[in-house]
Amino acid sequence: MTKPNFVSLPGRLRPPPRGIRSVGGADPARLLRVSVFVRRRQPLDLSGLASTMLPQNRIYFSHLELATAHGGDPKDLAAVDEYVRSCGLKVIESNFVRRRMVVEGKVAQLEGAFDVGIVRWEHDRGVSHGCTGPVRVPATLAGVVTGVFGLDDRPVAVSHLRRLKKKKAAAPSFAGYTGEQVARFYDFPTGVDGTGQVIGIIELGGGFRAADLSTYFTEIGVPLPAVTAVAVGTGTNDPTTAEGADGEVMLDIEVAGAVAPGAKIVVYFAAGATDQDFLDVFSYAVHDTTNNPGVLSISWGGPESAADASFQTQFDEILQSAAALGITVTAASGDSGAADEPPSDWDGKVHVDFPASSPNVLACGATSIQVSGTTVTAESIWNEDVTDMKDDSFGASGGGISEVFPVPAYQAGLSLPPNASTKGTGRGVPDVAGDGDPATGYRVRVDGQEFPVGGTSAVAPLWAGLVALLNQKLGHRAGLLNALLYANPSALQQITTGNNEVGTAHLGYVARPGWNACSGLGRPVGTKVLAVLQG
């Protein structure tokens, strides 16, 4: 076969991380599966759904309508199919709804098909494989193929959960609040419990034990929600120990379930945290016609600099599909303050977390609360012991200015600060906040153990539970909430104390009246948010 004229895919070049060394080429006989994404049949216009139009006046797509008008073109998939087979690759799956084809082949075959070198890297976490240059496709497929994922197995996301470590709890016997208690602190709507709603939770590892959930909800006096595990690809509900990813899974379920126990909770498990895993599990959840979630919670993410633009663009396109279907997506903004990297990896610059930086998610930061009875008496930005950036046990609310996404229309009227490192402009993160300090955090049960945890991981499912209550009350999906919240900031309680600065130079952002890059517009006043959505 004559070698085709190749062109590079836009944004598909991920530089090697700091502190690793090449240990040679990948085994040419090793089998890999990759996901190939194709363009939409027609562009998707979200201008109406991203506006201040009330939910009851919005007309969302059905899954069939979205797939038919804005899914992949079968002709495009057929062209990709013909090409990859000519390269000796095996087609495992082809799906025009998700605009995705899964192909399998040996490293040598994939290198030839995408004109790329695949090498091995050694680092302190083990050995990874990845590309040495941009991923390329034949010129005949330029503009047709929008991304190829699976050639790089480095993780792009981590859990944004923090356990209580150095900082003292609010009281010596403090075991953590339940989601139901925080819902009362924040005046969530009463008379609804999420009945008829489906909350989807994205997990990149870990698992849950049904016995733990039964014990937990019995102990806190809340009805046990219906929880279903969905395996995506080779991902499974695989609980191990309380020290692993199980803590994230249980936190997400227990917070969302305590807020909206009448909702069905569907937990989507990916095989890992690579760009391919993250895209595949999220795409599956958005297009899941069996469970049809109305809100999706994501407590995993990583610095925008940790992945390439192609991954972020493709993920954002799936987020756009979620918005078109009326699915609200809540995402944790990160637990490492303005750095968005742990001290051992920090490059000395500020970053925002992705996917929280997408303009099509409700990005969730974290606060620390003081409570008397059922009343919050004081609330500030969560930030603990981050001055020297030498201890990975620190934590602070992630936030800042995106280097990838421009300022969205709903933030156009704000006085956004410049990026503290680049001095550039961009999408401001987060949008909203909620209790996330481990010292005033949430009681969880994980693999037979109970302890308080926090992090922005807790805030995403808290808001997801609120959205389920709102959807039940409205009788209609709330969808993309951002524009309505920015147009009605009085529905949230501003947080004007604290900062998410890091390092001895105090790099980052300070809380201020109005929107800030630590807590966004503030934490919810649930009944006021409902009133806004009701018009």
> Can you give the pTM of this predicted structure?
0.96
Which residue has better confidence, 533 or 384?
533
- Whole-number pLDDT of residue 173: 75
Which CATH architecture best describes the domain 158-479+502-508?
3-Layer(aba) Sandwich (3.40)
Active-site entry in 152, 252, 304, 317: 252
Query: What H or E segment, with its residue span, contains residue 527?
Result: helix 526-534
Tokens of 406: 């421009």
Tokens 């909203």 belong to which residue?
Answer: 432
pLDDT band at 25 (very low <50, low <70, confident <90, very high): confident
- Catalytic annotation on 457? yes
The string of pLDDT tens digits covering residues 373-405 is 999 999 999 998 655 555 556 799 999 999 999
- Amino acid found at 170: A
Tokens of 530: 């409902």
Name 133's Cβ contacts closer than 8 Å, sequence gap at least 6. 13, 116, 117
pLDDT at residue 313 is higher than 70: yes
Share of the chain above pLDDT 70, in %: 94
pLDDT at residue 519 is higher than 70: yes
- Whole-number pLDDT of residue 17: 62
Strand partners, 241: none
- Whole-number pLDDT of residue 392: 54
The string of pLDDT tens digits covering residues 27-46 is 999 999 999 999 999 999 99
Tokens of 509: 């952002």
Per-residue burial over 270-285, b if 16 or more Cβ lie within 10 Å, else e, is: bbbbbbbbbbbbbbbb
pLDDT at residue 479 is higher than 80: yes
Q: By the 8 A CB rule, do 464 and 330 touch?
A: yes
The string of pLDDT tens digits covering residues 428-441 is 999 999 999 999 99
For range 343-367, the mean pLDDT: 94
Three-state SS annotation for 319-353:
HHHHHHCCCEEEEECCCECCCCCCHHHCCCCCCCE
Helices (H), 334-479: 456-474
For range 299-305, the mean pLDDT: 95
Q: Rounded CA gap, 44 and 532, in Å?
A: 27
Q: Rounded CA gap, 195 and 120, in Å?
A: 49
- Catalytic annotation on 501? no
Maximum Cα–Cα distance across the chain = 75
Q: By the 8 A CB rule, do 356 and 332 touch?
A: yes
Domain boundary assignment for the chain: 6-149, 158-479+502-508
pLDDT band at 198 (very low <50, low <70, confident <90, very high): very high
- Angle between helix 63-70 and 309-324 (nearest 10): 130
Active-site entry in 248, 335, 341, 353: 248
Burial of 82 from C-beta contacts in 10 A (0-12 / 13-18 / 19+)? exposed
Q: Rounded CA gap, 63 and 32, in Å?
A: 31
Q: By the 8 A CB rule, do 251 and 442 touch?
A: yes
- How many Cβ atoms sit within 10 Å of the Cβ of residue 393? 15
Active-site entry in 283, 380, 457, 519: 457
pLDDT at residue 75 is higher than 90: yes
- Whole-number pLDDT of residue 343: 75
For range 327-334, the mean pLDDT: 98
- Catalytic annotation on 415? no
How far does CA 443 lie from the centroid of its chain? 22
The string of pLDDT tens digits covering residues 133-155 is 899 999 999 999 999 999 999 89
